[in-house]
Amino acid sequence: MTAPRLLMLPALSRSDRCDRCPAAAQLRAVLPPGELLFCAHHARKHRTRLIAAGALLSPDLAGDLLSATYN
């Protein structure tokens, strides 16, 4: 698996919500059409596709959320 590409963006705030559910956002993924926010659960669920798509990831928790060993 390719290492995630990290992007320096403003930190996520308490009001930022996951684009898939109402949980607090923990990861920002930037793709050519725009950005997506994910909670920890959905970041882990979609990590393979995000990395394969070349998404730029906010460094907030990207290392922990996207590591293959994170449970």
pLDDT score of 11: 82
What's the structural domain count of the chain? 1
pLDDT score of 62: 56
Q: How far is CA 9 from the centre of its chain?
A: 12
Residue 36 forms part of a structural domain: yes
User: Which residues are paired to 17 by β-bridges?
Assistant: 24
Other Cβ atoms closer than 10 A to 13:
8
Choose between 31 and 67: higher pLDDT.
31
The model's pLDDT over 3-45, given as tens digits with 9 standing for 90+, comes to: 666 556 778 899 999 999 999 999 899 998 899 999 999 998 9
Question: Do β-strands 56-57 and 34-38 pair in parallel, antiparallel, or remain unpaired?
Answer: unpaired
Residue 14 forms part of a structural domain: no
- Percentages helix, strand, coil for the chain, rounded to the nearest 5? 25, 25, 50
**Residue type present at position 19:** D
> 39 lies in which domain range?
1-9+23-71
pLDDT band for 66, please (50, 70, 90 cuts): low
